[in-house]
Each structure stands twice: as C-alpha cells, then as structure tokens.
Amino acid sequence: MTQNNSITFIFLAIMLLLVIIICLMVFQLMKAKKAKDDAEQSFYALEMKVNDLQLENLESKLNPHLFKNILNSIQSHAYQTYFALDKLANVLDYILYESKKKFVTAKEEIDFAMNLIEINKIKISPLFELKIKKNINEEDKLYEQPLLAPLISIDLIENAFKHADLQSADAFISVVFEFKDNAFFMTVSNKISDKKVLKKERGGFGHNTLEHRLRIIYKNNFKLDRFIENDVYIAHLKIDLLEYKTEMLTAG
C-alpha cells in the first residue's frame, strides 16, 4: 500500500509539473502574440504617417518608398521590431518637422543619420561588418549652430546599403562622421556587389540632386568626391561651415 501511494504521488507530481510547463508555454505564447499585435499596430500607424508624408521643395523632397521598404523589412523581422520602430519614429519626426527648416545643427543631422543607419541594419546579417565611427569636436563653436542643410546624409547612406555586397566574406559598410575645424565631414564606403541593382525608382535624392542641392546652398564651400578603389565605393563629403557662415554675414 505504501508503495502504491508513492507511485501515485510521483504520478501526480509529474502531472502537476506538466500542467505548470503547459501553463508557462501558453503564457509565453499569449505574451508573444500580444507583442506581435502591438508591433503590427505600431507598424500600420507609422505606415499611415509615411503615406501622409508630403515634402514639397528640393530641400525637403524625399521618396517615401524608401521608408515603405524599411517598414516592410521591419515587419518581417519581429524580434527587432520595437527597436527599429522607435528609430523609425525618430527619423519620420525629423523628416516631417526638422527638414522643413532651412538649416539644422550638425548634431541634429548626425543623430538623424545614426537612426537611419540603425533602421537599415535590420536588412543585414548580424555577422555583416558595419563600422560606424564619430570623431566630433563638440567644443567647436559651430557644431550646434544651425548651418547644415537637413537630410544631406540620406543619399550617401541609402546608396551604401543599396549597393553593398552583403554576401561576400569580406563585405562591409563603413560610415564616418567628423566635425572639426568648423567643418562637417562624412565618409561612406562599401564593398561593391557584383549583382545588378534595379534602376532606382523615380523620385527621392539621386547623386545629381544631392550635388545640385549642395551647390545651390554652399556654392564653393563644399566638396563631394565619389570614386572606386579596389572594388570599394567611397563617397566623401566636406562642408566648410565657417567659410559659408562668413560669406553669409558678408552678404548681409
């Protein structure tokens, strides 16, 4: 009788343990479903915000398809959704509000570019080499003065992620931001993919549009170089903000 009681007790303990495990699994599934539902609601809210995006002039013109593509990438990677949506919200706020200004600070533009890079990271493997470096002299008197045209970093970043070789073992994307001697520097480089890239959809910032915009605003106070070296595409932008500000003050 004692042996039967022991067997019964063990059986009940095992059943109780199974019930607890099943309850925990159901709880985790419910929690995951709620997270998925919340993420989808945030996704569709941001998608509607993108659809309402209307930036009319050259300084604030942006192809909303870029962000629709990013949203689709985010939706297909649920494990990174919350983080990416938070970054995307910051990017959209910057585009909708800050880009309407004629100028922003270098700090604001760099923060925007960092958020844009974080969003694009969702497209690549965790093993892909993405190198981001900032060399900023925050004591520079022009660093937090509104002298930089908003959204100038989009074209260089978008181009790197679009044309990078994401499959090669030595593939990489490198983005370097610098602010020194009252000048803004941005260098973006990537291993070129052998795959042909579909022609970019009409609209948005193209190479010619970016350079044309910079020339209108900064005249001879900027330098934009693009070249290929050992299968690596390199774009280097320098804007001399001190010279530009001096010319503005001289012109009255």
Task: Taking residues 59-88, report their average pLDDT.
Answer: 60
pLDDT of the residue at 204: 41
Residue 88 lies in a domain: yes
Q: How far apart are CA 164 and CA 169, in angstroms?
A: 12
pLDDT (tens digit, 9 = 90+) per residue, 79-136? 566 677 777 778 878 877 777 788 999 999 999 999 999 888 877 777 788 999 999 9
Q: How far apart are CA 189 and CA 232, in angstroms?
A: 7
The length of the chain is: 252
Q: Greater confidence, 186 or 89?
A: 186
DSSP state of 64: T
Count: domains in the chain: 1
pLDDT (tens digit, 9 = 90+) per residue, 137-184? 988 999 999 999 999 999 999 889 888 877 677 789 999 999 999 999
pLDDT of the residue at 121: 83
* pTM for this prediction: 0.67
CA dihedral 90, 94, 96, 99 (to 10 degrees): -170
- Res 230 pLDDT > 60: yes
Residue recorded with tokens 């343990």: 17
The enclosing domain of 58 has a CATH number of 3.30.565.10
Residue recorded with tokens 């993919």: 193
Cα distances (Å, whole numbers) of residue 200 to 40, 62, 63, 120 = 28, 13, 11, 17
Q: What's the domain range around 202?
A: 53-251
Q: How far apart are CA 226 and CA 18, in angstroms?
A: 63
Residue 20 lies in a domain: no
